[in-house]
Chain A
Amino acid sequence: MPAEPQPPTPPRRCCRWVCWFAGIVIAVLVVWAAARFTSDKPVTYAGNEDHFKYGSTGGERSSGIPYSIWMALPELFPQYLPGKGLQSLGFLYEPGKDLPIGVSKRRVQGIDRVFLNCAVCHVGSVRDTPASAPRFIVGMPSNTVDLQGFERFLSAVALDKDFTGDRIAPVIKRMGTDDWLNRELIRYVGVDLMRDQLVSLRQMFSFMDREPVFGPGRFDTFNPPKVLLNFRMDMLPPEEWVGVCNFPSIWHQRLREGMELHWDGNNISVDERNRSAAFGTGALPPTLDRASVRRTANWLLDAAPPPYPYPIDAALASKGKPVYAEYCARCHGASGTDFAGDLVGKVTPIDLIKTDRHRLDSYSFALCVNQGELYAAYPAERFQHFRKTDGYANQPLDGIWLRSPYLHNGSVPNLWELLEPASKRTATFFRGYDVYDQKNVGFVANVSHENEKAFFPLDTTLPGNGNYGHEGKAFGTELSEDSKQALIEYLKTF
């Protein structure tokens, strides 16, 4: 006989309270977790210059490195750095800042992440004498940062057996750079994810192994987009292998709109050029922070270089002015602020300029047409202006004193040597030293060490590093010594 069904016992009051309480706690947790793990908030700056130096391009969203890992790496893996901290790779730290110039921070999915921005390649350092304090100058080519060295540091870390959550979490705790939850997330998930990313980054950037070492102030601009498009880099024709070139200055963009931009003049649109460069900061079409990049771009429209801070011999400079007008102005502009001249911003064919052609050849027609696919999801932003050229573009010379070493590959240390025929230019000189050489106009290039810091010897006999070209009568290398000196004095006024 079946048992009598029991009438259900009414829930006791206290049990109902427990349910309510648990429900509320869960709801609060869900809201809190949603708020925390869907966050996307960059660190912002009031001043435009600080925004340029530290503001986000959106690159952290897809490429960001957790801030606390970034801070821990130099502590944990000093053996992969040439000296103490990222300073030893030439990163510039302002007093009181924990991140160097050119590194931005954004909280993505509850974790502070950092990545590079425009300033890492476009802020440099100048010292008057070895004893002087450095001045950091925005918009000039970075003359100290060794980006390739940084990439190789990360690659080495990725393969190190000590790159584990258990090794990193205690360092984060000691440095106090993240809270308990993030620390544990990094310990059990973050480090493994980052290792995967770094290993694939190492694979992606292995094309650099076929090039001479870049050293500070240089990178390869147009092989990375091929990697971005997953081109078969192993099948790249040898003439495309070497694309190393100097970072450029980025002042006076308003005056540059419509000029043939990039060293080989492959694009006439400042905006497209900016978006193209933003790939280098990790920003993809869906992750680009448009408002932030627009703010930087607008600020750069009229950003100007600082005047030459050392004495200028006015009489001598005025003698140089007509020399400049006769030899240089047609290609390089009437002055440092007036870029008039029928060939300014136009490509000079390689057969005429005769400088090292590797950078030109590294940019291929196949890449050029494929770039038409980039930003296709955002029709107003799609790349439409990339072209394959056959030479190098004539640049305006604003702030030319800060743009040493010279030529697109930074193969000539100073203006004096640029006015000498290639046979008299220094075959191997040192890059990365920021003390200024007022006599030759450029950075001091014959110092190999300062304290324990070694500078980078640029061997101009290597492919891509050639210091020839831009020479002959038309290029001023046959001028008299007096005329050259006058011309250089005049160029200081730019």
Chain B
Amino acid sequence: MRWLIALVAILCLVGVFGWYKFFREVPQPPFANEGERFKYGSIGAENTRGIPYWIWVVLPRVFPDFVPGPGGYKAFGVVWEPGQEIPVGFSKKTIGFPRIANNCAICHVGTWRASESDLPHVVVGAPAHTSNLQSMIRFLTNCAADPRFNADTLLAQIERETKLSVVDRLIYRFALIPLTRSALQKQATQMAWMNRPGWPDWGKGRDDPMNLTKYFMTSQPVDNTTGQADFPSVWNLKIRNGDGLFLNWSCDTPAVISVLIDSALGLGAAPDPTVPLDTLNWKFKRRAWFVNRMQELDAYLSDLAPPAYPFPIDAALAAKGKVIYAGETNGPAGKCVSCHDPGQAHTNRLIPIADIGTDRNRMDTWNQAAADQANEKVKEIGIIRPNMVKQEGYQSPPLDGLWMRAPYLHNGSVPTLSDLLAPVKDRPTAFHRGYDVYDPAKVGFITTGDAAARDGWMEDTSVRGNGNQGHTYGTELSDADKIALLEYLKTL
């Protein structure tokens, strides 16, 4: 009997120790405001995708040969504010041990600069047009596949930064380092579809959103589709919600909350989709926390103001442009307002592919079966949200903060607004995107020259999915009218 008590006591101690070292959740310190929380706050992804903090810190130092340039994680083009411990779009949270995961901001915070010597201006909600997520994922894959990913090498580097306790060193050596490695290797297999030889790269400012959804949330087989698409802006979402309005490039989702939930689940946010509804109570708690966080984000992003154009605007010229935008003088073909002003007949709605004529690859990545399975999956987790759909065409978005949403079209195949108003044959066929110095003359980021070549990623519009055709509206306007229209678009 005495032995039994001792055994139970020891098991309890082991349990408490294990809980403390691996599962104890420490809330993040409070954020100064919702913008900071958006940039660095947890969306709950640390549980399933969190990389142990110290491993995350030393990976670029142990594997500089897999980093695309000098600069640690900055070399992947992520937004990183001076004085911050981690880049924007990363969250640090202790669950047993400090972990690093990603949040919405990894794709939805962008920067601009007025000149090469300017410092980056950070815009919350803007497309992360400088970030090369695919190269960061591949970096992690390469690290995990390399024999240097071992306890001796990583700990040697870690101990240049911190003195781990004996227990923590053992935990890193025998648990965290091998487990992280195998988790990253498993993730690499799940992502193998994007590394097929000759497959189009996402490049900077893009991912393949519906294939990611399809391959992670459904059991759909890997198919031959590719749908690399720009990160969208996520400010002012209140004008995106409504009866019959759709989000995502191909109108795949009917409500903001659905986009938020599905995107967060894609980043690995809890609740773990494999956990059925009727398990332990704390899973419910986590689900409640998650749904609540999504609702908070919905509220925050609904009212987040788009950024004002930071350069001078010629008001008289813009006034002329407004007339052209409204289409009164150019007939229906030049009438921007009916598809792009909030509340208009065609805004936030589906434009059939035959009408819009843009590259169809992104649209073709999604299908009804995938939508049905994804809907079922979310329901199984116990979350109620409007269901995803499958449509044939592209969404006509409102143009708030348009200046900061370059390059244009769903696949970012047209570098500037000025190019978008040019006939397809005159649009650039290869340009460097992801350089953040602004070009007020053409309205978009600078995509040519040495600096753009150094910092940017070259988009080749002849690659499948990168086609720059379609949306020829307004391309036949006179030069004077185009200049006036451009000036007006700066005011949006």
A: residues with CB less than 8 A from B are 62, 226, 229-233, 235-237, 284-286, 364-370, 372-374, 376-377, 382-388, 390
The answer on a CB contact under 8 Å between A390 and B74 is no
Q: CA A385 – CA B84 in complex, angstroms?
A: 9
Provide the residues of chain A in CB contact with B87, threshold 8 Å: 369
What is the CA–CA distance of A232 and B160 in the complex, to the nearest angstrom? 19
Please name the residue on chain A nearest to B63 by beta carbon: A230
Which of A231, A377, A384 makes the CB contact (< 8 A) with B71?
A231
Other than the given A230-B62, A365-B119, A365-B120, 18 more pairs (CB < 8 A) read A231-B64, A232-B64, A232-B70, A286-B160, A366-B70, A369-B74, A370-B72, A370-B73, A370-B80, A372-B85, A373-B57, A373-B161, A374-B161, A376-B85, A376-B161, A377-B162, A385-B83, A388-B119
- Find residues 161-185 in chain B having any chain A CB closer than 8 Å to their own CB: 161-163
List the A side residues contacting B120 at CB < 8 Å. 365
- Which of A369, A386, A388 gathers the greatest number of chain B CB atoms within 10 Å? A369
Q: Tell me, rounded to whole Å, the shortest Cβ–Cβ distance linking B121 to chain A.
A: 13
For A62, the closest partner residue in chain B by CB is: B160
Q: How many residues of B contact A (CB 8 A)?
A: 31
Considering the complex, give the chain A residue whose CB is closest to the CB of B69. Answer: A235
Q: Which residue of B lies closest to A382 (CB)?
A: B85
Give the distance to chain B from A386, nearest Cβ to Cβ, in Å.
6
B50-80 near A? 1/0 per residue, CB < 8 Å: 0000000100111011010111111100001
Residues of B near A364 (CB, < 8 A) are: 70-71
A374 to B72, CA, bound (A): 13
22 interchain pairs (CB within 8 A)? A230-B60, A230-B61, A231-B64, A232-B69, A236-B70, A285-B161, A364-B70, A364-B71, A365-B82, A365-B120, A366-B70, A366-B75, A367-B71, A369-B80, A372-B86, A377-B161, A377-B162, A383-B83, A386-B82, A386-B83, A387-B83, A388-B82
State the main secondary structure of chain B at its contact with A: loop
Q: Which of B's residues lie within 8 Å of A, judged by CB?
A: 57, 60-62, 64-65, 67, 69-75, 80-87, 117, 119-120, 159-163, 454
Cβ-defined contact, A373 with B85, below 8 A: yes
List of B residues within 8 angstroms of A235 by Cβ: 69-70
Task: Name the distance in Å between A1's Cβ and chain B's nearest Cβ.
Answer: 45
Complex CA distance for A351 and B117, rounded to whole angstroms: 11
* Closest CB in chain A relative to B168 CB, distance in Å: 11
Our pick among A284, A382, A386, A387 for the contact of B160 (Cβ within 8 Å) is A284
In the complex formed, the residue of A with least CB distance to B454 is A237
- Interface contact A370-B74, CB-CB below 8 Å: yes
- Chain A residue nearest in CB terms to B29: A379
Bound-state CA distance A400–B261 (Å) is 63
Residues in chain A near residue B61, CB distance under 8 A: 229-230
Q: Which 4 residue pairs of A and B lie closest in terms of their CB atoms, listed nearest first?
A: A366-B71, A377-B162, A231-B70, A369-B80
Distance in angstroms from A199 CB to nearest chain B CB is 17
User: Is B82's CB under 8 angstroms from A372's CB?
Assistant: yes
Chain B residues positioned under 8 Å from A372 (CB to CB): 80, 82-86
Nearest chain B CB to A196 CB, angstrom units: 13
Contacts of B117 in A (CB 8 A): 390
B74 — nearest CB in chain A belongs to which residue? A366
A388 to B454, CA, bound (A): 19
Are A366 and B162 closer than 8 Å at their CB atoms? no
Nearest neighbor of A378 in chain B, beta-carbon distance: B162
CA distance A231 to B62 in the complex (A): 10
Query: What is the distance, in angstroms, from B64's C-beta to the closest C-beta of chain A?
Result: 5
Chain A residues near B81 (CB-CB < 8 A): 369
What residue in chain B is nearest A231 (Cβ atoms)? B70
Residues of chain A within 8 A of B69, CB atoms compared: 232, 235
Minimum C-beta distance from B351 to chain A (A): 40
Q: Which residue of B72, B82, B119, B160 is within 8 Å of A231 (Cβ)?
A: B72
CB–CB B70/A286 < 8 A: no
Contacting pair A284 B85 (CB below 8 A)? no
Shortest Cβ distance from B11 into chain A, in angstroms? Answer: 33
A370 and B86 CA atoms in complex are apart in Å by 8
Tell me, rounded to whole Å, the shortest Cβ–Cβ distance linking B158 to chain A. Answer: 9
With a cutoff of 8 Å between Cβ atoms, the chain B residues found around residue A383 in the complex are 83
Q: Which residues of B contact A365 (CB under 8 A)?
A: 74, 82, 119-120
Closest residue of chain A to B65, judged by CB?
A232
Q: How far is the CB of B111 from chain A (nearest CB, A)?
A: 11
Q: In the bound complex, do residue B82 and residue A368 qualify as a contact, i.e. CB atoms below 8 Å apart?
A: yes
Across-interface contacts of A369 in B (CB, < 8 A): 74, 80-82, 84, 87
Chain B residue at minimal CB-CB distance from A234: B70
Query: CB-nearest residue of chain B relative to A233?
Result: B70
Q: What residues of chain B lie closer than 8 Å to A368, measured between beta carbons?
A: 82
List, in ascending order, chain B residues with CB within 8 A of A366's CB.
70-72, 74-75
Which residue of chain A is the closest to B87 with respect to CB atoms?
A369
Residues on A with C-beta less than 8 A from B119 are 365, 388
Q: CA of A119 to CA of B61 in the docked complex: distance in angstroms?
A: 30
**B162 partner residues in chain A, CB cutoff 8 A:** 285-286, 376-377
> How many Å lie between the Cα of A270 and that of B257 in the bound state?
47
Residues of A within 8 A of B86 (CB): 372-373
Task: Name the contact of A384 in the complex, choosing from B74, B83, B161 (C-beta under 8 A).
Answer: B83
Minimal beta-carbon separation of A349 from chain B (angstroms): 9
Q: How far is the CA of A366 from the CA of B64 in the complex (A)?
A: 14
Give every chain A residue within 8 A of B72 (Cβ-Cβ): 229, 231, 366, 370, 373
Distance from B471 Cβ to chain A, minimum over Cβ atoms (Å):
35
Q: Which residues of A contact B454 (CB under 8 A)?
A: 237
Which residues does chain B contribute within 8 Å of A367, judged by CB atoms? 71
Q: Check B57 against A286 for contact (C-beta < 8 Å).
A: no
Q: A382–B75 Cα gap in the complex (Å)?
A: 22
Tell me which of B67, B71, B160, B454 has the highest count of chain A C-beta atoms within 10 A of its own C-beta: B71
> Chain A residue with minimal CB distance to B67?
A232
Task: Give the complex CA separation of A383 and B70 in angstroms.
Answer: 20
Contacts of B73 in A (CB 8 A): 370
Give the CA-CA distance A84 to B67 in the complex, in Å. 45
